Structures are given as C-alpha cells and as structure tokens.
Amino acid sequence: MKPNDTKKPFLVFGAPLIEQPEIDEVTATLKSGWIGTGERVACFEQNMRQYKGAKYAAALNSCTSALHLSILAAGIKNGDEVITTAMTFCATVNAIVHAGARPVLADIDPVTMNIDPADVQRKITARTKAIVPVHFAGRPCDMDAIMDIAKERNLKVIEDCAHAIETTYKGRHVGTIGDFGCLSFYATKNIVTGEGGMVLAQNKKHIARIKTLGLHGMSADAWKRFSDKGYRHYYVLEAGFKYNMMDLQAAIGINQLRRIEKYWRRRRQVWGRYQDAFKHLPVTIPAEPEARTRHAYHLYTILIDKERAGLTRDEFLEAMTKNSIGVGVHYLSIPEHPYYQKTFGWKPRDFPNAMQIGRQTTSLPLSPKLTEDNVSYVIATVRKILGR
Ligand SMILES: *Cc1c(COP(=O)(O)O)cnc(C)c1O
C-alpha cells in the first residue's frame, strides 16, 4: 500500500465527464485519416446552431480566440474603448487588448455578480464601441438594459457565454441576443472538447470574416481546399490567425452536446442540494435564478466573510484542500492583477462590489461527474470547517 492510499481520493475541481461515445468517435476520427478541420467540425457547428437557435456559427480553438475575432469582426479599431466587467476571467479583458482596443471596466451588481448596466452607462465615452457582458456562473446578464444602451449609443454587443451555453433570458438563448456569442469547451466548462470554442453570430458577413480571420486570413473557400472536389486555389485577404478547431475536438463536442441537458439537470440537482444545505450557515449563498431566465449552473459560489464565518476565504480554501476537495476562485477581480494596474492604472477599490466578492468567493465542486456521496462529503466538510 502506498502511503496516501489511506487518504480520501482528491475530488478534482471541474472534472469533465467523458463517456464511451466520444472515446469511440475520437478513435474513429484518428482511423479516418482526417483529424484536422473537416466534416465533424461542420456537424458540431450545425448541431450547436440548432441547440442555441443561432443563425451562424464558427468553431474555433478556444473561447479566447472567439472573443478576439468577434471584437475584430465588430470593426473595433486601435484606440476604441470596449466596456466589460471587473468580475471575469482574464481572457475576456486580454481579448480586448489583443484586438488593439482599450478595455474599460464596469463594476458588478453584488447580488447577481453580473455587469451593472448603470455603471456601463457611466463609463461610456465618445470612443466606446462595444460592450462585452459575461453571463457569470451561468446567470444571464440584464440583457434588456444592456441592449437598450447599445441601441441608443450604436454599440456592438459581444456576449461572453463561457459559463452559459444552456442559459436563456426571457425565452431567448444568451449568445443570440447581442451581435456575437462566444462559447468555451475548455476542460472545466459545461461541455468540453479539451480546448475549444465557438462564435455564434446573427450576421453572415460577421461569421465570414471570423472564418477568414481564424484560418490565416485565407478566403472562405480555403476551408474546403482539402475536400474531394479537387484542388482549389486560396487567396490571403488579410494577416489572420491560426484559430481553427480540429475534427478530433469536434468528435468529442458532438457527443458531449447530445448530453448537455442531462448534465445540466445533474448540476441543477447538486446546486439545489448545496442551497438547502448551506442556507443557515454563516456564509452568503448564491441568489436563486431570476424569473423568466434559465441559469446554466456552471459555478456554485459561496462568500466567506471573516467576521461572520470565523475564518478567512483563504483559510477556508486551505481547509477544503486538506480535506481532499478541489475548490476554485472565480475570480479575483480584474484590477487585483499587476498587469492591469500597471497598464491601465486600475485599482480594486474603484470597483468595490467586484473587489469584495473576489476576496470572499469560493467555488465548490459542481460537475455531472459528482456522485451523491461526493456531494454529501462536500456538504459535511463545509459544515465541519464552519463549525456547524
Ligand atoms: C474560460 C473562460 C474564457 C476562456 O475560455 P477558453 O476556451 O479557455 O479560451 C473566457 N471567459 C470566461 C468568463 C471564462 O470562464
């Protein structure tokens, strides 16, 4: 027996559930001799378009690339300003920087943790060209307010749906309300391809530009250049990027997408068990989903305030890890990071809601892979650490 065999196996945070059909299809793809961008990618785009009710889709190698190309396709130029939330993953902000624009942050609503439309309104200048709302943890942003602002000021809207494939807002899928919707299939996301992303768009020209930019800037026909229709010349129209998705990745995604609702129902169950179990603990639990919306239940986060809980968030994280439970922090607010402080002069205290949540938040395991026993163990451990 190895020394740590007596220890409980570590519960990996955000572990994906990989099942036999995707394993078989990856094998079939490998054996087919066509592992690059081809029919399986086209099929994954088509199935996702149908699921989301989107007009057009382009599969890419990450949500970060999806955001980058959407911002470029939105016509954002050097010196333009793009407003996003102070409570997001760094990729949202970095994509704006890579597109040559200046990111401008808005604070969040402390209850929904989503971008506060009133603060967006305050941050608009003559240079503002777009808004990038993030449907945080899978909860939809206040899209009516955001779209009203966008229409009035003639701004593009690029929805970061990395947490929110299953999310709807007043009957519409998020990612189809603005001009662009960006999805992630990263290993910890709601469905996975390993690395992977997709852009949804409502405008044919936008998606054509994204397909061109995503494959070296070559004319759209280049996507077909290895088909059995014979050799086709391609022309480079601009200096593009290498952001295409492979059939090997789509082979996983197509099968994961078939189970998206099943996985969602399972996460909803776990989310509900946590809500019941933690409502009388000295921590802040998430707000229930709003009426006429569908939450994607990507993250389950509790806020640890030292005054109430008797320990700091970081002490809580450490205690969970010692008990073999993988936890996450989503996220330290963007202005906590040195690069943004140095480059844009941002200070955490200028975004007080995002700062406070970023310093108190803890994400508990929420994955369709969790068993009922795993969930019971997480609940018992949280209670034990909080002395209940
Ligand atoms: C994961 C994530 C991204 C980036 O997704 P990748 O597919 O890993 O590039 C962007 N925004 C948010 C909010 C995310 O959580």
Residue tagged 């949500």 (tokens): 63
Residue 197 near ligand 1, beta carbon < 6 Å = yes
- pLDDT over 90 (residue 233): no
Q: Is 73 in the pocket of ligand 1 (CB under 6 A)?
A: no
pLDDT at position 226 over 90: no
| 8 catalytically annotated | no
Ligand 1 pocket member 112 (CB < 6 A): no
Note the pLDDT of residue 224. Answer: 67
Task: Please indicate whether residue 184, judged by its CB atom, sits closer than 6 Å to ligand 1.
Answer: yes
Per the prediction, the chain carries an average pLDDT of: 95
- pLDDT tens digit string along 91-136? 999 999 999 999 999 999 999 999 999 999 999 999 999 999 999 9
| Radius of gyration for the alpha carbons in the chain, expressed in angstroms and rounded | 21
pLDDT tens, position by position, 279-330: 999 999 999 999 999 999 999 999 999 999 999 999 999 999 999 999 999 9
pLDDT, position 221: 63
Domain ranges across the chain = 20-258, 260-385
> What is the fold, at CATH topology level, of the domain defined by 20-258?
Aspartate Aminotransferase; domain 2 (3.40.640)
Over range 337-341, report the average pLDDT.
98
Q: What is the pLDDT of residues 151-190, one digit of tens each?
A: 999 999 999 999 999 999 999 999 999 999 999 999 999 9
Q: How far is the CA of 162 from the centre of ligand 1 (A)?
A: 5
Contact (Cβ atoms closer than 8 angstroms) between residue 82 and residue 68: no
Pocket test for ligand 1, best of 62, 67, 89 (most atoms within 8 A of CB): 89
Please list, residue by residue across 170-203, b when 16 or more beta carbons sit within 10 angstroms of its beta carbon and e when fewer do: eeebbbbbbbbbbbbbbebbbbbbbbbbbbbbee
Atom number in ligand 1 closest to CA 95: 10
H runs (alpha helix) in the chain? 20-32, 39-52, 63-73, 90-98, 117-123, 143-153, 204-214, 247-258, 260-278, 306-309, 313-322, 338-344, 352-360, 372-385
Question: Ligand 1 center to residue 36 CA distance, Å?
Answer: 23
Helices 204-214 and 63-73 pack at an angle, to 10 degrees, of 120
Q: Which of 129, 156, 189, 211 is catalytic?
A: 189
Residue 128 CA, distance from chain mean position: 24
> Residue 355: its pLDDT value, please?
98
Expressed in angstroms and rounded, the spacing between residue 137 Cα and the centre of ligand 1 is: 12
Contacts of 192 (CB under 8 A, 6+ apart): 16, 18, 185, 186, 252, 253, 256
What was the pLDDT predicted at 225? Answer: 61
| Residue whose CA lies nearest to ligand 1 atom number 8 | 186
Number of the ligand 1 atom closest to the C-alpha atom of 195: 7
Stretch (H or E) spanning 35: none
pLDDT digits (tens, 9 = 90+) for 48-57: 999 999 999 9
Q: How far is the CA of 184 from the centre of ligand 1 (A)?
A: 6
Name, in order, each residue with C-beta under 8 angstroms of 141's C-beta and a sequence gap of 6 or more.
Answer: 112, 114, 115, 133, 134, 135, 159, 169, 174
**Averaged over 12-31, what is the pLDDT?**
96
Ligand 1 pocket check for 161: Cβ under 6 Å: no
Domain 260-385 coded CATH 3.90.1150.10: yes
Largest CA distance in the chain: 70
Measured distance CA(27)–CA(231) in Å, rounded: 28
Which of 160, 245, 361 best tests ligand 1's pocket when mutated (most atoms within 8 Å of CB)?
Answer: 160
